[in-house]
Structure 1
């Protein structure tokens, strides 16, 4: 099939959505966008074309070739039906920042560059709200062997009482991943798994707790 221009891609996306019985707002959430994103793409032509990562996720979801959604044929691939075509598939944004498991990493651009796909059933079984989840990368060795340099972790930003456990925290402009433990009235300890790094004891008010680490991925 020849590649579609942007107008054909909009028409085809709407056809696929109608065939599958899924709304554009749900598809927008699937690719990590606001609920009106694909509505604007289809109805107003804004954006003019789908970004590569968004197009790939949608092609996988529908089980079609990316060329049907605007990709050049030579750059696309033949998507085959898979778990990604599950209507209960949820896309969790991967943020282009690193959290330090070491001396400290300054926060970067906290915008998604891609998505991780998770089973909606798995998320519900664990009580997670997809809107409160995001994935970031570990940098450094202070949390080894539990978390290694390059691992990606899923952070739950849901509000609630602070519990001991592994969290992403912000100290000034520095993001860190540490094990948190209350050390007294109004105080908290930031602990490393790697015993070469001493614990940090400080006032709770000096630490911004971003979220709790609830899952990790890493290469073998």
Structure 2
């Protein structure tokens, strides 16, 4: 077998996240890997006992949001042979803007800004990010602490660019909003029958910002999900 489950690391993760083996079994079952508490206990009975295939190891890493390289280390030569396990028929390709971040203002998501095409499996969108399979998603990184604790510095957010007008968003939606040359990630607060909106931060150290002049403003899209750095690195495939 070309992989070996790092059971010591798994035990540390479960302890740190306060997840019992029984809870892990339920989490895996809910995400398509049907296993019982006895099945997980079986891994620990012998050094050679472990999940029966690498797809299941990947699923464990996904539900625990940990690096697959630490959960079941494999060498680089073998990695090329297991890439097909991470690919499915329903691949979704969309854009990631590595040089753009939102909250403190670092530019605009425009046609002339460099982006990298990335691929994700449709099941990743549904099962891990809990969002519908669509092709109108972009990814950027959050900069700053204005949306903490909901979004933290360094998180990656998935933006649905099909929701980019006041008519397609709701009050309390979190949006990526351009004002002039600055880009912000804020919660929208709309008032009924008013021609203005407020940009609201989760962090109470930041004041609400009233927007009434939309000439230099644009709603880029609604934030529909977020990823930690670990999830982004492990489950996002760059198209070269």
Which protein has greater RCO, CA pairs closer than 8 Å, 6+ apart? 2
Counterpart for residue 186 of structure 1:
195
The alignment's TM-score, normalised by the length of structure 2, stands at 0.52
Q: TM-score, normalised by structure 1?
A: 0.56
Q: Answer yes or no: is 1:161 the counterpart of 2:168.
A: yes
Cα 1:118–1:153 change in 2 (3 A) is farther
Does structure 1 retain, via aligned residues, the 8 Å contact 2:169–2:222? no
> SS at 1:168's partner residue?
strand
Q: Which runs of 5+ in 2 are unaligned?
A: 1-75, 231-240
Q: Hey, which of these two has a bigger chunk of strand by percent? A: 1
2:118 is matched with 115
CA contact (8 A) 2:178 2:219 kept: yes
Question: Where does residue 80 of structure 2 map in the other structure?
Answer: 78
The question of whether the paired residues in 1 share the 8 Å contact of 2:91 and 2:121 is answered with yes
- Is the Cα–Cα contact under 8 Å of residues 143 and 178 in structure 1 kept in the other structure? yes
2:221 is aligned to 211
Instruction: Give how far 1:212 is off.
Output: 0.2
Distance 2:123 2:92 in 1: 6
Q: Does the aligned pair in 1 maintain the 2:131–2:225 contact within 8 Å?
A: no
Contact 1:98–1:139 (CA<8 Å) still a contact in 2?
A: no
**1:164-192 CA distance string (max 9 Å, x none):** 21000100011110001113511000000
Cα distance in 2 for residues equivalent to 1:167 and 1:83: 34
Does the alignment pair 1:172 with 2:180? yes
Shift of 1:143: 0.6
Cα distance in 1 for residues equivalent to 2:83 and 2:138: 26
SS of aligned partner of 1:158: coil
Contact 2:87–2:121 (Cα < 8 Å) also in 1:
no
* 1:161 counterpart SS class: coil
Q: How many pairs does the alignment contain?
A: 145
Unpaired runs of 5+ in structure 1?
1-73
CA contact (8 A) 1:188 1:204 kept: no
SS of the equivalent of 1:135 reads strand
More displaced 10-residue stretch of structure 1: 110-119 or 152-161: 110-119
Which of 189-198 and 75-84 deviates more? 75-84
What CA RMSD, in Å, does the superposition of the two structures yield over aligned residues? Answer: 3.0
- CA shift, 1:156, in A, is 0.3
Residue 204 of structure 2 corresponds to residue 195 of structure 1: yes
